[in-house]
Amino acid sequence: MSRASSACAESTQATVPSVAIVEDEALFRALLRGALTATGGVSVLAEYGDAPSALGDAMIREADVVLLDIDLGSSEVDGIGLGMQLREHAPRLGVVLLSNHAHLAFAHALIASEMVGWAYLLKKSVRDLDTLLRAISAVRVGEIVLDPALVGGRKHPHSARFSHLTWRQIELWELITQGFSNAAIAQRLGRSQKWIDNAVGGLYAALGVDTHDPTINARVAAALLYAREAQNAHLTSP
C-alpha cells in the first residue's frame, strides 16, 4: 500500500477521469454512460457487454477507472475476476464493482489480496451520483470505498479489538471508508479542516495504523481494516 506523492495526486485530480464500463444489461449500461457524461466531470472512454470483449480490447487499459458489474451473466469470468485480470496489465487502474448483493463475502478475494484502488457499490446506490463520483475519485488515487449501505449500524466492526473507539472515531472511520476526504468530512460535520485532520490522526493511532511509515497510506489501511472487520461481522451475524 504505497503512499502516492502529493504532486502525483494533485496532477491526477486536476484532470477529468476517464472511465470504462463493463455491464451486461444494455439499459443499465446506457444509463450509467448518460449520467456520467451529463456531469461533465467524467469521460466515458469505452463500454462493453461482457468480459471477453473487455479483455480483448487494449483501450480499457487506458482508462483511469473501470466500472464492473460483479455478475456478468453468461460470462465465465465475474466482475471481481475481470478486475483482477485487468489490474495485472494495468496496475494503476481503479476498479468500481457494482453489485446487487449487500454482502461483503462477494468481495472476499479483493479484501484477502490486500489490493488497493477498488470500491464495492450496490447498483441501487449509483442512482446517487455523488456516491458514484466519490468512489471514482477515490479509487483513481488508490483508495478503498464501501457502499454506504455496508457501512455503519449493525454492520460496523464490533469486535473487542475496537471496543475502545469513541462514537466520533467510529463515525470518522465510516466516512473515510465511504470515500470522503478530510475536507468533505469537515463540511459534512460542520467542523474546521484542522479539527478533522487532528481527529483523523487520532483515529489512525487508535486503529494502530503507522502514519510514520512512508510505505503505508493510512487512509487505505484504515478502509481495508474496516472492510475486513465488516466482512467478519457479516459472516458472524445471524
Statement to judge: residues 182 and 210 lie in one domain: yes
CATH of the domain at 39: 3.40.50.2300
pLDDT value for 231: 74
* Residues 158, 49 share a domain: no
Residues 175 and 118 occupy one common structural domain = no
Buried b (16+ CB within 10 A) or exposed e, 74-107: ebebbbbbbbbebbeebeebbbbbbbeeeebebb
Q: Diameter of the chain by CA atoms?
A: 50
> What range does the domain containing 135 cover?
1-147
pLDDT tens column, 94-125: 999 998 887 776 677 777 777 899 999 999 98
User: Any idea what the Cα angle at residue 129 is, between residues 128 and 132, rounded to 5°?
Assistant: 100
Of all residues in the chain, the percent with pLDDT exceeding 90 is 60
Lowest mean pLDDT among 6-10, 128-132, 157-161, 215-219: 6-10
